[in-house]
Amino acid sequence: MLSQILYALPFLAKGFALTLWVSLLVVVLSLIAGVTLGVGLVYGPTPLRWAVRIFSDTIRGIPILVLMFFVYYGLPAIGLHLPSFWAAVLALTLFKTAQVIEYLRGAVGSIPKGQSEAAMAIGLTFRQRLTYVIFPQAFRRFLPPWINGVTDAVKGSALVSLLGITDLMQAINQVIGRTYEAMPLYILGALIYFAVNYALSLASRRLERRFAFIRE
Amino acid sequence: MGYALNFNLIWRHFDKLWGGLLLSLELAVISIAIGTVIGLVLAVWYVSAGRTVRAIIAAYVEFIRNVPLILLVYLVFYGLPTVVDLAYSAPTSFVLTLSVYSGAYLVEVFRSGLEAVPRGQLDAGKAIGLTPWQRLIHVRLPTMLRITLPALSNTFISLFKDTSIASVISVPELTFGAQWINFNTFRIVEVYLVTTAMYLVTGYILLFGLRLVERRFRAAR
């Protein structure tokens, strides 16, 4: 049993690398999209605000798996052919973007109105107000839940295995298909996911403590 | 482009989706009920226990919360029967998994609620001569419940959505029904539009119901 697992380790490592790559892509892309749309939600004109609200509430209201199948099978049906890897990344990014929007809204919303008014009073433009006054303060509130949410991206990435992409989850299933050592391999997989995510949640907790001096 | 929507085939197979939704709800309700018991018992135990018990409960919570649900579902359905002499159907296996999974999330919710109960309330209970058990039942738990209700609603709805993972072990719930129609009729966009709507409507009905419960309990404050 042990020799079989050792033999499979390089294969599992490749899957693990793909899991990390998918997670990283999703985290970075959703951060960009989520912050942009989040600013739109807080400061944008009413139609944009509504559009972002509906987007976020719809995406967060359905299972990520349904969203993934929708994107993966639905896009080719309407004539958009994405490689399955990018379809999976797109679906996971859409989901994560909705979360980032809410983190941003919460973080910006927690900054007292007076800060914005004071910045306006000294004649800062909208862009300056965001860059020098709102974001530096909101950042501290945004960071801990966001890092905590990164674990969701890593866990969510396991679903790409259902689209035939060989991430860690799929690699484990394939090794089991050949060796029939189901339990040891699932436990090994669980431990790998655990190690990554636990490290992330410890980091999030440490940051939260570091920024705990901020008062309402 | 140029995709013409045609819902006829969806309505013809709508029983797959409707029956699937009912099964999703059933899976969610049973798992959440078991998970709530696990969560309550362990949370109450945790706040009064010594170091060892705390470490064990924390290990359970951290382990489950940091592993993808899909892996746990596979582990229980394909892995566990190879090492223990158990035979169970896919739905039972999923309920088992989701119960243990929701238990871990609910321990956290209840624990933080219990720790948020003001010390003065417990002292007051002690002052009027309640036994520790009475203090738990009449003071701690009701106050904790009121504090945790919003977080509890969110966890419940999120667990309802998690039932979609049951489709990976062929439990015929809503997502599985959607996939069946997807593969058998190729009305792909239509079936996922309808499925999305069904999840959204059900989720919002649940949310609305839970908010009503929250409001009722808030009024009692």
Domains defined for chain A, CATH in brackets: 2-213 (1.10.3720.10)
Would you place residue B205 in the very low, low, confident or very high pLDDT band (cuts 50, 70, 90)?
A: very high
Domain for residue B196, yes or no? yes
In this predicted structure, which of A161-165, B3-7, B150-154, B216-220 has the lowest mean pLDDT?
B216-220
Residues of A in contact with B204 (CB under 8 A): 61
- Binned at pLDDT 50, 70 and 90, residue B76 comes out as very high
Which pLDDT band holds residue B65 (cuts at 50, 70, 90)? Answer: very high
Share of chain A above pLDDT 90, in %: 67
The whole-model pTM stands at 0.90
Note whether B1 contacts A: Cβ–Cβ < 8 A: yes
Backbone angles phi, psi at A215, to 5 degrees: -100, 160
Q: Which chain A residues are within 8 Å of B182, Cβ to Cβ?
A: 69, 73
The residue of chain A with its CA nearest to that of B81 is: A183
- Tokens (6 digits) for A86: 């990018």
Residue B1 lies inside a defined structural domain of this protein: no
Secondary structure (DSSP) of chain B: --PPP--HHHHHTHHHHHHHHHHHHHHHHHHHHHHHHHHHHHHHHHHH--HHHHHHHHHHHHHHHTS-HHHHHHIIIIIHHHHS-----HHHHHHHHHHHHHHHHHHHHHHHHHHHS-HHHHHHHHHTT--HHHIIIIIIHHHHHHHHHHHHHHHHHHHHHHGGGGGGGT--SHHHHHHHHHHHH--HHHHHHHHHHHHHHHHHHHHHHHHHHHHHHHHT-
Q: For residue A210, name the pLDDT band (cuts at 50, 70, 90).
A: confident
Kindly tell me if the per-residue pLDDT of A215 is higher than 60. no
CA distances B153 to A95, A103, B159, B207, B211, Å, are: 20, 19, 10, 7, 8
Residue of chain A with shortest Cα separation from B204? A61
Could you list the residue range(s) of the whole structural domain that residue B86 is in?
A: 8-219
**Count: domains in chain B:** 1
Tokens of residue A161, six digits: 């295995």
Assigned domain for B105 exists: yes
Residue B221 clears pLDDT 60, i.e. is over it: no
Q: How far apart are CA B18 and CA B10, in angstroms?
A: 11
> Residue A6 contacts by C-beta under 8 Å, 6 or more apart in sequence?
none
B67 touches chain A (CB under 8 A): yes
**How far is B167 from B177, CA to CA, in rounded Å?**
9
pLDDT at A213: 63
B188 contacts B182 by C-beta, under 8 angstroms: yes
Residue B4 is predicted with a pLDDT of 81
Whether B2 is in a domain gets the answer no
Share the mean pLDDT of chain B. Answer: 92
ipTM for this prediction: 0.90
Q: Which residues of A touch B (CB under 8 A)?
A: 58, 61-66, 69-70, 73-74, 77-79, 151, 154-156, 158-159, 161-162, 169, 172-173, 176, 180, 182-183, 185-187, 189-190, 193-194, 197-198, 201
| CATH number of the domain bearing residue B48 | 1.10.3720.10
- Residue in chain A lying closest to B2 (CA): A78
Contact list in B for residue A173 (CB cut-off 8 A) is 74
Q: What are phi and psi for residue B117, nearest 5 degrees?
A: -70, 125
Chain B residue closest in CA terms to A78: B1
Q: Is the pLDDT of residue A216 over 60?
A: no
Query: Contact at 8 Å (CB) between A72 and A84?
Result: yes
Whole-angstrom CA distances from B169 to A81, B31, B71 are: 28, 16, 11
A175 CB-side CA count, 13 A: 30
pLDDT at B48 over 70: yes
Residue B89: inside a domain, yes or no? yes
Q: Which residue reads 């701690």 in tokens? A: B140
**Which of A145 and B158 is assigned the larger pLDDT?**
B158
Q: What is the pLDDT of residue A66?
A: 95
Q: What whole-number percentage of chain A has pLDDT above 70?
A: 98
Instruction: Return d(Cα A159, Cα B71) in angstroms, integer.
Output: 9
**C-alpha dist (Å) from residue A23 to A150, A152, A156, B48:** 8, 9, 8, 39
Residue B171 lies in a domain: yes
Under the banding of pLDDT at 50, 70 and 90, the label for residue A149 is confident
Residue B159, pLDDT score = 96
Q: Comparing C-alpha atoms, which of B203, B67, B185, B65 is closest to residue A66?
A: B203
- The shortest C-alpha distance from A183 to chain B (Å) reads 4
